[in-house]
A and B are shown apart, each in its own frame.
Chain A
């Protein structure tokens, strides 16, 4: 168990809908990362938050947004869903952004299926 919790584990929804994926980082970790993993694109970095603030953006679509709350949990919102958004979405956390780094710990992922 990595200590990173993601909910839900599985999600099936229709095209055009909106979903919210949730991530609780390891206790004490301030940085949260979101990744999308699909068969054809591999592991794609979406966005990083540190202590509530956005720190880095990767290949995140405008239809997607995220935030990190004061209690450090994070949510990834996916809207106007398309078939191509079907993927495994991972959240990872690490200790921090400044002053050094440690490894990132990954959650079990949310498997999103858009039908």
Chain B
């Protein structure tokens, strides 16, 4: 079955620590990959996206993600987190094989301690 897996459900970090959130997908063919962020009480907002080209994608607020096709992964990274990064992070995939429908992972809750 097609799926998006986010293995880290809850992550707690101190400010200035480095962050890496895992995302793995199981879809065939060409995929488009996204990371969304949901700050407390708000809607989901796009952090970054990958359609093609350089597999290292830079997004807003210092976030980046690397697409590794052989591992079916699209992990999110940030070298130094801030308290304001406390939020829920969702990985999402679309694929032409599935009619470009968005599939979301279950999310990772990040808490950054000042």
A residues neighboring B (CB under 8 Å): 2, 31, 33, 35, 42-43, 45, 48, 55-56, 90, 92, 94, 96-98, 100-101, 103-109
B contacts with A: majority SS: strand
A selection of 9 A-B contacts at a CB cut-off of 8 Å is: A42-B106, A43-B90, A43-B107, A45-B103, A55-B99, A100-B100, A103-B49, A106-B43, A106-B44
Interface residue range, chain B: 20 to 34
Shortest Cβ gap from B111 to chain A (Å):
16
Alpha-carbon distance A101/B101, docked complex (angstroms): 9
Interface residues as binary, B72-114 with A (CB distance below 8 Å gives 1, 0 otherwise): 0000000000000000001010100011111110110000000
A contacts with B: majority SS: strand
**With A45-B103, A106-B43 given, can you name 20 additional A-B contacts, CB distance below 8 Å?**
A31-B100, A33-B102, A43-B104, A45-B101, A45-B104, A55-B101, A56-B99, A56-B101, A92-B44, A94-B100, A94-B102, A97-B99, A100-B100, A101-B94, A103-B34, A103-B46, A104-B34, A104-B102, A106-B44, A106-B45
